Amino acid sequence: MNHDPFKKEHHLRTKLDEYHVDIPDFPMQSRGKRWERFINFLASPAKDPIEPLISTTAGFAVLKLAPIMGMAVISILQLFFFL
């Protein structure tokens, strides 16, 4: 386990020794229990998928007219295929 791969690579060893990184000491948060994480996941707020449509006037009109247009298309298809 005392094998050092950088002993043979002198060029790489000198390049790595040129850089020094200071890692700040900050407290780590405990991850908590699995049950608590699950409850926090369930309690987190969700993004509303219809919000971009409701925020504009045209989107609101599309949201109101889409079911009507869909039913019209389905009824026309039924007339052509089943009569």
User: Could you read off the pLDDT of 15-55 as tens digits, one per residue?
Assistant: 888 888 788 887 777 667 888 888 888 888 888 888 887 88
Whether the Cβ atoms of residue 24 and residue 18 lie closer than 8 Å to each other: no
Look at the pTM and tell me if it is higher than 0.85: no
Contacts 24+ apart (CB under 8 A), 18-25: none
- Does residue 78 have a pLDDT over 70? yes
Q: What are phi and psi of 29, to 5 degrees?
A: -80, 140
Whether the Cβ atoms of residue 54 and residue 63 lie closer than 8 Å to each other: yes
